[in-house]
Chains A and B, each alone.
Chain A
Amino acid sequence: MRWGMAIELKRCIGCYACVLACKAEHFLPPNIFWNRVLIGEKGKYPAVTKLIYSVRCNHCADPACVKACPTGATHQREDGIVVVDEDKCVGCRYCMVACPYQARSFYEDGHGAQTEYYPGQGLTEHEKIGKTLYPHEPGTVQKCVFCKERIDAGLAQGLKPGVDRDASPACMNICPTKAIHFGDLDDPYSDINRLIKEKKGHPFHAEFDTQPSIYYID
């Protein structure tokens, strides 16, 4: 089993819902993003194409970050999800340096980093709840976890990730244009594999040689 994603670029409207859903799902602190939207353009007026890419950790099959990590904090689960064990991370940030997609963030609490969403006004109820429900360890590196908590809990209930909402990543669920698909790349009959095959999905910058688990469909 290897979880993967397919993102249809023609469907993406650049609304940032994936970024915000992730913020909400994981109670991410200010200035921490587990996914982003990259916006650019190609060509010259009047023949211009707008480029919009929803990006996050590619959960590469051959991840540069895992090789870089000196402690084993960054490791790959059997289902392909690359995670950081915040109890083992020492904060050397070699993984951040090594990631060609720059998908990782370093979380600092204090040290001049913004800690409240309304600076000087204390934590909101939502932020307080987050500190209990989804605490983040300051001084460690963090990144997209493919919503492993949702996947694990969903599978335990017999649900299918990528099909059932409660077993699927938050960014996929929220996407208003259904541009994001999720599923098992090892299952040749999975919807995601069919989609990748039919619509000629390709990994983002295959030249980095890390074998991403996220495919983009032009």
Chain B
Amino acid sequence: MMQVKPWDFMVKYTPQREWIEGHGILVAFAMFFGGVSGGLYLASLFFGNLTGMVIAWALAALAGLVDMAHLSKRMRFWRMMLKPGSSWISRGFILIFLFLGAAGIQILITWLAPGNAWEILFKVVAGVLAFGVAIYSGFAIGIVGAIKLWNSGLVPILYVVSGLAGGLAVVMLVSLNQDAASLVTISNYLLAALVIDAIFVATYFWSATYSSVTARDSAVRVMKGKIAPAFWIGVVVLGLIIPIALVAPFSLSQSASTVAFGIAAVGAIIGGIMLRYVILKGGMYSPLLPDE
């Protein structure tokens, strides 16, 4: 836990705590589940993977439940949907509910009576909502002007890309019993998603060092401070380097290895959780008093 002396609160750089410490850790999980859910649903649509869709639906439900678990007044959860006009939390919560409805219907149709226009319609609607579920948490923190590390247009995109990578990783995991060709196809997309993810992660933190003093301070803390192990080991090594290293050779040689792909997928998923953790943990408020 990052300790700020009580007299340094808002006098020096002050870490964001409400959404990461204690119960706050649930926010990171909710964001992760939402992101992966959206990405997974879209990936599952692309690959026509019903299992993936079901898992995406479950993850969205989980995202909503974890969001609710984070509340101190859980029975009032419905109130969270009352301000979609201004609040991204409200929008996100509504998106999750709508997605659960639309995707639920779509899954039922695909399972029970596939191949009709309703299925296509609900796939399109649920797909759009899935995109929303993946991106909303990025907007929720991206618009927080108070925290310079978050206050970037890159965050929603990063969250979607990371969600897609996570989603593809789940698709990979549920497809491990399939033939090599299918696995290679999935691995090619996963590799692409991971590379794009890596580029956005790099761009995001690199641009943070240029955007403001506070964002730079945050970025430095992420890369050199107490959060650095989570960033370097969790996000970079486990989440990006190992999966890319494991997937890339097979992708080039058009062969498959369930062990390598399995490990890569798990790594990518862990990386996705750690990315949310690191971003939330790295959020700092600018000091209100001039620095020495």
Contacts and interface: CB of A to CB of B under 8 A. Distances in A.
B82 A72 contact: yes
A94 to B, nearest CB: 5
A53 B288 contact: yes
A67 B86 contact: yes
Interface in A24-78: 36, 38-44, 51, 53, 55, 64, 66-73
Interface string B48-85: 00000000000000000001001111101101111100
A82 B74 CA distance: 24
A139 B70 CA distance: 11
Nearest to A89: B73
B93 A38 contact: no
Given A91-B72, A92-B70, A102-B10, A69 B83 contact: yes
A100 interface: yes
Q: Which of A40, A72, A92, A106 has the most CB of B within 10 A?
A: A92
A38 B213 CA distance: 20
Interface stretch (B114-122, B142-150, B183-191, B218-226): B142-150
B111 to A, nearest CB: 33
B7 interface: yes
A91 B18 contact: no
A191 interface: no
A71 B148 CA distance: 25
B19 interface: yes
A58 to B, nearest CB: 11
Contact of A68 (B79, B89, B288): B89
B73 A97 contact: no
B18 A88 contact: no
A99 interface: yes
A53 B289 contact: yes
A139 B87 contact: no
Interface stretch (A148-156, A170-178, A201-209): A201-209
Contacts of A142: none
Given A94-B89, A140-B72, A71 B83 contact: yes
A66 B24 CA distance: 20
B72 to A, nearest CB: 3
Given A71-B76, A71-B83, A102-B14, A97 B289 contact: no
Contacts, number: 121
A90 B10 contact: no
A71 B288 contact: no
B286 A100 contact: yes
A98 B283 CA distance: 11
B145 A90 contact: no
B11 interface: yes
B76 A97 contact: no
A101 interface: yes
A164 B39 CA distance: 60
A108 B288 contact: no
B145 A209 contact: yes
Contacts of B67: 92
Most chain A CB atoms below 10 A, which of B9, B140, B288: B288
B144 A70 contact: no
Contacts of A7: none
A89 B72 CA distance: 9
B90 A40 contact: no
A154 to B, nearest CB: 30
B87 A68 contact: yes
B285 interface: yes
Interface of A: 36, 38-44, 51, 53, 55, 64, 66-73, 88-94, 96-102, 106, 108, 138-140, 204-205, 208-209
21 contacts: A42-B292, A53-B288, A70-B82, A70-B87, A72-B82, A88-B79, A89-B73, A90-B76, A91-B71, A92-B70, A92-B80, A92-B89, A97-B19, A97-B144, A100-B146, A100-B285, A100-B286, A102-B9, A102-B10, A205-B286, A208-B145
List of 3 A-B pairs having minimum Cβ-Cβ separation, nearest first: A91-B72, A139-B72, A100-B146
Interface of B: 7, 9-11, 14, 16, 18-19, 24, 67, 70-74, 76-77, 79-83, 86-90, 93, 140-141, 144-147, 283, 285-286, 288-290, 292
